[in-house]
């Protein structure tokens, strides 16, 4: 057997150790069930072919994998709402082909380790939202979700330079401060100040920005800048700039129903 998908079946009880005997298993999905207990070494120590591991949304699930170097090389990990924390699993740094990492609401209360940036060469999707991650944060990402954590300091300028593939950035509900760098999507509920940078008009790949754009922030100094920058966002579908103190006029070619909330 290569793939085992038992997701969304209201399964309860514990995970049988016999699943660890499926040594040819490449994909293992137990997400969105009612499982409890612990996933530990006997479940995974023989799964050297494993590439996809999804255990999310099992509210009583705990996770314990004491491997320093696990037998597998994963491409995707889904462990939302599992007891992963309080620290980032050290074995993650051994995963050389990881493209998707989902550990939201995973009881992590750690700072982002220095080795985490080494993962970015392969990662394209990462979701660490709804944890208690703190400290300053660590390039091929297209989606980065670090919302509802305890990140502090300025947003680094390399977000706009090195993360050239980034399309969705969510940093809402942190403790960020300082001025706004080029990549802007979800920065609500922080302490940002300054002006919207001119380079926002260069984000031709930006598709949707709705209800995630600096809501209730005091952004000044916009004036005529908005109209000239928005006209270059040819791929824009939705934009919400409501509940700010913006000035200037809406560009003529952006007065359709796709542009909402300019107050």
Model pLDDT, residue 228:
46
What confidence tens digit (pLDDT) does each residue in 114-152 have? 788 777 678 878 888 889 887 655 456 677 777 887 777
pLDDT of residue 77: 93
Q: What is the pLDDT of residue 24?
A: 94
Tell me which of 261 and 44 has the higher pLDDT: 44
Element (H, E) at 41: helix 41-44
Question: Can you tell me the mean pLDDT for 94-109?
Answer: 91
Long-range residue pairs from 255-262, CB within 8 A, at least 24 positions apart, any chain: 259/230, 260/210
Between 40 and 206, where is the model more confident?
A: 40
pLDDT for 255: 46
Between strands 134-135 and 150-154, the pairing is parallel
**What pLDDT does 210 receive?**
40
What are the boundaries of each domain within the chain? 3-193, 194-263
Res. 4: pLDDT tops 90: yes
Question: Among 31-35, 44-48, 214-218, which stretch is predicted with the lowest mean pLDDT?
Answer: 214-218
Query: Residue 231's Cα: distance from chain center in Å?
Result: 28
Confidence class of residue 220 from pLDDT cuts 50, 70 and 90?
very low
Dihedral pair phi/psi, residue 158, rounded to 5°: -70, -10
The pTM of this model reads: 0.59
Q: What is the mean pLDDT of residues 40-44?
A: 73
Mean pLDDT (whole number) for 218-235: 44
**What's the rounded mean pLDDT across residues 5-12?**
92
Domain 3-193 sits in CATH at: 3.80.10.10
Q: Which position has the token pair 């980034």?
A: 166
């Amino acid at each position: 057997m290569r793939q085992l998908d038992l997701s969304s079946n209201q399964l309860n009880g514990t995970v049988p150790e016999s699943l660890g005997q499926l040594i040819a298993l490449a994909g293992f999905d137990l997400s969105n069930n009612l499982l409890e207990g612990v996933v530990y070494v006997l479940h995974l120590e023989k799964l050297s072919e494993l590439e996809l591991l999804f255990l999310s949304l099992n509210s009583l699930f705990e996770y314990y994998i004491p491997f320093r170097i696990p037998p597998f090389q994963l491409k995707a990990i889904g462990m939302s709402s599992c007891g992963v924390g309080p620290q980032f699993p050290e074995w993650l740094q051994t995963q050389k082909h990881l493209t998707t990492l989902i550990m939201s609401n995973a009881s992590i209360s750690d700072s982002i380790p220095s080795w985490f940036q080494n993962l970015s060469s392969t990662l394209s999707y990462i979701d660490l939202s709804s944890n208690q991650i703190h400290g300053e944060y660590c390039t091929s990402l297209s989606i980065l979700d670090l919302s509802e954590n305890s990140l502090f300091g300025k947003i680094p300028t390399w977000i706009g330079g090195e993360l050239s593939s980034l399309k969705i950035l969510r940093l809402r509900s942190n403790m960020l401060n300082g001025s706004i760098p080029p990549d802007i999507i979800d920065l609500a509920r922080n302490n940002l100040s300054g002006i919207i940078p001119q380079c926002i008009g260069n984000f031709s790949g930006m598709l949707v920005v709705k209800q995630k754009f600096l809501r209730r922030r005091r952004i000044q100094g916009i004036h005529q800048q908005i109209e000239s920058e928005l006209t270059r966002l040819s791929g824009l579908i939705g934009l919400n700039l409501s509940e700010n103190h913006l000035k200037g006029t809406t560009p003529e070619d952006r007065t359709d129903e796709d542009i909402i909330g300019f107050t």
